[in-house]
Amino acid sequence: MPDQDTQPINPDLHWLEQLPAGVILIVGERLRYANAEALRLIRAAALHEVLGRSVQDFIHPLDLARVLARIRRAERGEAGNPPTEFRVYACDGSLRVLAMTSTPLRLGDSWAALATFMDLSARAEMDARLRETDDNFQRMMNTMQDVFYRTDADGITRYVCPAVRNVLGYSAEEIVGLPAAMFYPDPVEREPLLAAIRRDGFVHDFPGRMRRKDGRIIDIAISTQILRDEQGNYAGVEGIWRDITERKRMERELARLATRDDLTGILNRRALLEHLDTALQHLRRGGPPLSVLLLDLDHFKRVNDTWGHGAGDAALCQFVALIQTQLREIDQLGR
């Protein structure tokens, strides 16, 4: 049975074939009708080349948020959209500039977007600048080490640069169209980020985690800002995130070195004294009693002098391991 999305909509629209302007009908972000002028403008040889395809296959990434916002307004039956310019990729891969206006169209119990557009590509100078902008954008995206991304109001990834393959192991094509939350170890971890963005309009170096394609969890830092549609409504976010796993590892290692004894791994002198000072403050404020036990190894110098410091270190580590088997969760052991 033929795919419903590839069947033409409403044969009563045949009169639109006579119009000199391009006309398309969009239902659920998919093209369900295009007149002859529309096919000519996007350089499609026949209707079947575009029927059932998503508008995202044609719209330039930098213009996609505006176009999708217009489609949603039409599908809600809201007033028609004013004319706007946007860029599309024709079926032959060329970039074209169109001026489009759209209006809601009632189809049974639901609404669709009926869009009319005209070709502005004849403006050669503007075309050249747009192509240069697009080339620069693509070149910048292709050489970035960090990941530039854009999501819509529903959290769906609409664009991600090629660097995502080096960071997450996925190609950009595998990620576009999927919820951004699914790449977090737990989707709930993304909620503080969204709350901060909606509160302040942006975040800078916001900490987070993501899951790579191979299952490994990495640390990331996100700098992003809110996107709004033409009416000021929340339309998604765009920004950059980077892999800071190595930086986080080094920070944790530095924190460990600052508080732990190199040889035994137990608290060092400074950290132990800090714990003791905190416990004494709690005691003075009526907290629970505490005990301090000082352990000394008799004749330990003789071990070092007789068998060397390596043997002394091994004896000390074995002694610490023995003591740790007797510790409770609330106990602290240091050297």
* Token code pair at residue 283: 């005691």
DSSP run (H or E) holding 107:
strand 95-107
Place of tokens 């290692």: 253
Beta bridge partners of 203: 224
**Rounded distance, CA 190 to CA 184, Å?**
7
- Angular region, 54: left φ>0, alpha ψ -120 to 50, beta rest: beta
Tell me whether the CATH fold assigned to 4-127 matches the one assigned to 144-248: yes
User: Which of 139-148, 168-177, 204-213 is the least confident region?
Assistant: 139-148
* Segment 48-71, tens digit of pLDDT: 899 999 999 999 988 988 888 888
Residue-level pLDDT at 124: 54
Phi–psi pair at 61, nearest 5 degrees? -55, -35
Domain boundaries, the chain: 4-127, 144-248, 260-324
**Rounded distance, CA 223 to CA 238, Å?**
9
* Segment 153-170, tens digit of pLDDT: 888 999 998 888 988 999
Which distant-in-sequence residues (6+ apart) come within 8 Å of 139 by Cβ? none
Residue-level pLDDT at 1: 47
DSSP 54: B
* Segment 291-329, tens digit of pLDDT: 888 888 888 888 888 888 888 888 888 888 888 888 888
DSSP run (H or E) holding 167:
helix 164-168
Q: Give me the sign of the Cα torsion angle 236, 239, 244, 247.
A: negative
Answer yes or no: CATH 3.40.1380.10 is held by domain 4-127: no
Beta bridge partners of 27: 30
- 3-state SS class at 111: strand
DSSP 156: B
Superfamily of domain 144-248: PAS domain (3.30.450.20)
